[in-house]
Amino acid sequence: MFSNYLALALSAFLAATIIPLGSEVAVGAAIMTGADPWMTLLIASSANTAGSVVNWLLGRAIERFKDRMWFPVSVQQLDAAQRRFKRYGLWSLLFAWLPIIGDPLTFVAGILRIQLLVFVVLVGIGKTARYAVVIFLVNQAAA
């Protein structure tokens, strides 16, 4: 069972980074194969939040390179993302689990130097709620 939890953690961690993966299937598979729901929730949420911290760290580190030719987005795109984040505020981090917008949210939070503890709490709440819903739905479908 340890290797299953390790695979779950790796899947959840990578899904939160810039790598385009989803971890909901891994969570569902863990539950369907008899993994403890609480342990699954703890591992998936923790690993996924840790992956978002990687994005936050990248955001903190990469801003100094925004004027370089190889920078992945234009200065205008970066400024627009920062304005959107500032408009919706810290509470938008509760939605860091959403596809497409979640990873950029965590990245911009790093650029804006959002306090790490606040970041982890808000992102962790959102990601834990998402996995709790996934686990609930899988259990309901299996019943």
**31-35 mean pLDDT:** 93
Least Cα distance to 108 among 124, 93, 125 occurs for 93
For the chain, how many structural domains are there in total? 1
Confidence of residue 1 (pLDDT cuts 50, 70, 90): low
pTM over 0.85: yes
The 3-state secondary structure of 102-143, one letter per residue: HHHHHHHHHHCCCCHHHHHHHHHHHHHHHHHHHHHHHHHHHC
pLDDT at residue number 18: 73
pLDDT at residue number 63: 74
d(CA 112, CA 87): 13
Q: Convert the pLDDT of each residue in 83-120 to its tens digit.
A: 888 888 899 999 999 988 888 899 889 988 999 999 99
8-22, 29-43, 107-121: lowest mean pLDDT where? 8-22
Task: State percent of the chain over pLDDT 70.
Answer: 99
Buried residues in 107-117 as b, exposed as e (16+ CB within 10 A):
bbbbbbebeee
The mean pLDDT value of the chain amounts to: 90
**Is 5 a residue whose pLDDT tops 80?**
yes
pLDDT at residue number 99: 84
pLDDT at residue number 7: 93
Query: Between the CA of residue 14 and those of 11, 19, 21, 140, what are the distances in Å?
Result: 5, 6, 7, 27
The residue length of the chain stands at: 143
pLDDT at residue number 126: 97
Q: List all residues 6 or more positions away from 10 whose beta carbon is below 8 Å from its beta carbon.
A: 47
Query: Between the CA of residue 85 and those of 22, 60, 78, what are the distances in Å?
Result: 24, 15, 11
Cβ-in-10-Å burial (0-12, 13-18, 19+) of 61 comes to: exposed
d(CA 135, CA 29): 10
pLDDT at residue number 132: 97
- 106 is in which domain, residue-wise? 2-142
**120-129 mean pLDDT:** 98
